[in-house]
Amino acid sequence: MIANFAGILAFIIIVYAGMTWVESGADPGKRKKAQDMVINAVLGLALMISIPTVIFGMGLVPCDLTTGLPWGA
């Protein structure tokens, strides 16, 4: 659920940054801001997807990955 929301939000930010980049023209400040927005959106999405994988992979939350319920429940 959170990954879906993060994906939608990252898509919106990347589209907005792309429009900002196109409209920046010769202004290097706006172009740099747009580039930073794209990089931050992609990094944020990568973190949102990888954090649950790391937590479940390390066994910090002992549960069945298909149901999300604790083992033995």
Tell me the pTM: 0.69
Residue 71 lies in a domain: no
Residue 62 lies in a domain: no
Residue 8 lies in a domain: yes
Find residue 70's DSSP bridge partners.
63
Residue 24 lies in a domain: yes
Ranges of the chain whose pLDDT falls below 50: none
Residue 72 lies in a domain: no
Q: How high is the pLDDT of residue 21? A: 93
3-state secondary structure of 22: helix
Residue 22 lies in a domain: yes
Which residues constitute the domain of residue 22? 2-57
How many domains does the chain divide into?
1
Residue 17 lies in a domain: yes
Residue 64 lies in a domain: no
For CA atoms 15, 33, 28, 26, give the dihedral sign. Answer: positive
Q: How high is the pLDDT of residue 20? A: 95
* 51, 3 contact by CB (below 8 A): no
Q: How high is the pLDDT of residue 5? A: 86
Q: How high is the pLDDT of residue 35? A: 95
* 18, 34 contact by CB (below 8 A): yes
